Amino acid sequence: MNITTNDVLEVNQAFYDAFAAGDYAEVEKLWARIDKVSVIHPGSAVIHGRKAVMKSWQEILKNSGGSQIRCANSKAYILGETAYVVCTEVFPEGRLIATNIFILEEGDWKMVHHQAGYCNPVRQGASDTNKSLH
């Protein structure tokens, strides 16, 4: 099997397309079937387990009916049968930074973790010596 970062980026984009469309069934299909999944929504505590994670997405999509979310600046990394994408989530109200982790499950990339959080805008000429939280 020839695994490329483009394969991972396509699944990542499919997640954001389903999120934007408010399509819970499609979001659910993109998550791994195993119970060892988790999600951290902005400002939220970690949610563990497939049932709880899917319930959180169902609530988000039910309440929002879709979103004007757009994924930008995606960068994929593959580590054997695990991959992750770091990207920017762009909303009309602002931006979040996100990490999405995927595993190969029965030959398909499936999400096992999503975390999105607030980020400070990058300033032109900012150095790596800025203070950070960790």
For the chain, the domain total comes to 1
Q: 114: which residues sit within 8 A by CB, 6+ positions away?
A: 15, 39, 40, 98, 99, 100, 101
Give 56-74 pLDDT, tens digit per residue: 999 999 887 667 899 999 9
CATH number of the CATH domain containing 91: 3.10.450.50
Q: Answer yes or no: is 110 within a domain.
A: yes
Contact status, residue 105 vs residue 131, Cβ threshold 8 Å: no
Give 68-117 pLDDT, tens digit per residue: 899 999 999 999 999 999 999 999 889 999 999 999 999 999 999 999 99
Give 33-44 pLDDT, tens digit per residue: 999 999 999 999
Q: Answer yes or no: is 72 within a domain.
A: yes
- Which residue range forms the structural domain that includes residue 48? 5-118
Q: Answer yes or no: is 65 within a domain.
A: yes
Q: What is the pLDDT of residue 65?
A: 63
Q: What is the pLDDT of residue 3?
A: 83
With residue 24 as reference, give the H or E element that holds it: helix 24-30
Contact status, residue 85 vs residue 93, Cβ threshold 8 Å: no
Q: Answer yes or no: is 126 within a domain.
A: no
Q: What is the pLDDT of residue 130?
A: 42
Q: What does the alpha-carbon distance between residue 34 and residue 127 come to, in Å, rounded to a whole number?
A: 41
Q: Answer yes or no: is 113 within a domain.
A: yes
